[in-house]
Amino acid sequence: MTLRSLAIKTVWRSRGRDPADLGSELAARQVDLGLAENTGHLLQQVEQALARLEDGTYGLCERCGHPIPLERLEAVPAATYCAPCQAASEAYEEPPRPGDAPGASFAHVFDAPGGLDGEDVWRDLARHGTANSPQDAPEEWAPAPDDPRPGPLV
């Protein structure tokens, strides 16, 4: 049963009931569904460990092939990786974004003679609005005396 179908079923049966009670019931059902899903994953891991036991590969790291220490198997009987390989598999590396070249930056824009500086960029962006209102930062609402561009709109 999906969360959406559970919500629809709960709403359909809820006619005339207190909304707070319905929210509590839905939250309890979400917890139950999460626990059932976790139990399913654990059962699958145990079945895979039993299959590895039958084919003689239980206790061997699937990544490097070295034996998994007994202490780790006692702590996590369904372990498929040794501790170093598990840590390596969990290490997060942000994938490169499309169009990003390694080492790409905007330094060439800011370092060029007559190029932009941070104040210019901020002034251009602030013209479109900031979280500040006039009483928070009145200096941001007045254009610079030598700036021909208008300041932020009020």
Q: Note whether 117 and 124 are within 8 A (CB).
A: no
Q: Which of 12-26, 59-73, 118-132, 135-149 has the lowest mean pLDDT?
A: 135-149
Return the top range by mean pLDDT from 17-21, 63-67, 113-117.
Answer: 63-67
Q: Find which of 15-19, 38-42, 108-112, 117-121 is predicted with most confidence, using mean pLDDT.
A: 38-42
Selection from 74, 71, 43, 77 nearest residue 58 by Cα: 77
**Count helices and strands in the chain by DSSP H and E runs:** 6, 0
- The CB-side HSE value for 144 (13 A sphere, CA atoms) comes to 11
**For residue 5, which of 31, 30, 37, 35 has the smallest C-alpha distance?**
30
Percent of the chain with pLDDT over 70: 59
Residue 95 has pLDDT above 50, yes or no: yes
Residue holding tokens 């139990």?
39
Q: What is the pLDDT of residue 120?
A: 77
| pLDDT on residue 26 | 85
**What is the Cα–Cα distance from 91 to 78, expressed in whole angstroms?**
20
Mean pLDDT, the chain, whole residue set: 77
Contacts for 69 with CB less than 8 Å, ≥ 6 apart: 82, 83
pLDDT value of residue 142: 62
Residue ranges covered by each domain of the chain: 1-57, 59-90, 105-154
Kindly report, residue by residue over 30-84, the tens digit of the pLDDT.
999 999 999 999 999 999 999 999 999 999 999 999 999 999 999 999 999 999 9
pLDDT above 70 (res 13): no
